[in-house]
Amino acid sequence: MTPERPQGADAIPKVVATPTRGGGPPAESSGTRKHDPAQLYAALDLGTNSCRMLIARPRGSQFHIVDSFSKSVQLGLGLESSGRLSRASMGRTVQALRICQKKLESHGVHRMRLVATEACRRASNARDFIRQVRRETGLSLEIIAPEEEARLAVVSCAPLVLPRTEQLLVVDIGGGSTELVWIDLTGVPQAERPRALMRFHTGFAPEVEGPSARVVDWISVPLGVATLREQFGDVEDDAARFALMSWYFEEHLCSFSPYNNEQPREGFQIIGTSGTVTTVAASYLGLRRYDRAKVDGLHMTTAQIDTVIRDYLSLGPEGRRTDPRIGRDRHTLIMSGAAILQALMRVWPTDRLSVADRGLREGLLYAQMTADGVLLDAPRA
């Protein structure tokens, strides 16, 4: 399967209006409809491995998290070999979505986006599953394209861009795919760079006056922590499996622009968002109990990342299973994620990574609130 890539301006889909709960009419973006800044918003991300949701309230130029949910459902288990979502995987996922529905109902949330990504993009029975979810939970899931998934990850990471950054790579390592976006910020004043990235909630070519961030290239690689692990599940040797996974992922980057361009290291920044990246950061910090405040925004060098990965390899599968820094939901997937991360650090011309404990859900929340005009000092659509 080849990576999905943009094919020019005509291939960039228009932004989709935020649906209301229960499949009602889309939100109006003309500014004629009034929205209460105190109302709650929800964003649900159903990926290949996890089901995660945030419920939040606008607060100034940001938002305050009111409630959250996260559960490993392994929706894509067996998808590589069968091309279908299994009955057991769909059952686990529906159970998790019932919990989400109860949370949405108890909080009285009416503004929400509930999206599904790579597993549902690829499964031949995805539409049947979407109908099952609607029938059994009342929730309307929307399968989004890789381009939208990529740009919403960029939006969520915008506050972490450094003032000196001129070339930016945002990497979102998911369960079934990995999105990479290379952005040129040289034409944007330093103080305006985060706002310039946030404008991508309307698309990779936002219509704005004056200097703007420019997407040089983007790619969606159909390999994430779950699908890459499944590809090499028959390799028994732990170290050999890791090396093969890293090499195989790098092979899928050969057409991505930064891979073929030797660039100076000054002014480059990678922002990585995923459970893999935050787990590696927590392991580096020695956290036995995860602390988002210490992880989000942390800067790690390539040497520090490599040290953590070597430690994971020395632990072996059983050691990783019992390591409290990794966690029981992550231990089977951490080495495939680490293989992706190590390949990316080899390719991109910098020796530092910015860690982001944020991603698609935060991007979805920001996009909804911006469209409704309930955030202070947010760029308009």
pLDDT digits (tens, 9 = 90+) for 198-227: 888 888 876 666 678 999 999 999 999 999
Longest dimension (CA), the chain: 61
Q: 22 pLDDT band (50/70/90 cuts)?
A: very low
Task: Please check whether residues 244 and 131 belong to one and the same domain.
Answer: no
56 within a domain of the structure (yes/no): yes
Query: Which residue is it, tokens 């330093």?
Result: 190
| Domain interval for residue 69 | 16-145+361-372
User: Could you tell me if 171 and 273 are in contact, meaning their C-beta atoms sit under 8 angstroms apart?
Assistant: yes
47-100 confidence digits (pLDDT tens): 999 999 999 999 988 899 999 999 999 999 999 889 999 999 999 999 999 999
For Cα atoms 71, 77, 81, give the angle at the middle one, nearest 5 degrees. Answer: 165
In this structure, the answer to whether residues 208 and 318 fall within a common structural domain is yes
Residue 376 — very low, low, confident or very high, per pLDDT cuts 50/70/90? Answer: confident
Least confident of 229-233, 259-263, 286-290: 259-263
Same domain, 233 and 342: yes
Contact predicate 85/76, CB 8 Å: yes
From 369, 274, 381, 372, select the one nearest 63 (Cα to Cα): 369
Find the CATH number of the domain harbouring 31: 3.30.420.40
Please tell me whether residues 162 and 140 are part of one structural domain: no
- Do residue 175 and residue 42 come from a single domain? no
User: Is the domain of 138 the same as that of 163?
Assistant: no
In a domain? residue 302: yes
Residue 205: inside a domain = yes
Report phi then psi at 140, rounded to 5.
Answer: -105, 105
Closest CA relative to residue 245, chosen from 127, 340, 181, 133: 340
Residue 87 domain flag: yes
Domain match, 252 and 153 both: yes
Residues 128 and 159 in one domain: no
Q: What is the CATH number of the domain that holds 251?
A: 3.30.420.150
* pTM, 2 dp: 0.83
Burial 165-186 (b: 16+ CB within 10 A, else e): bbbbbbbbbbbbbbbbbbbebe
Q: Are residues 174 and 277 in the same domain?
A: yes
Residues 215 and 157 in one domain: yes
Structural domain tally of the chain?
A: 2
Q: Are residues 126 and 156 in the same domain?
A: no
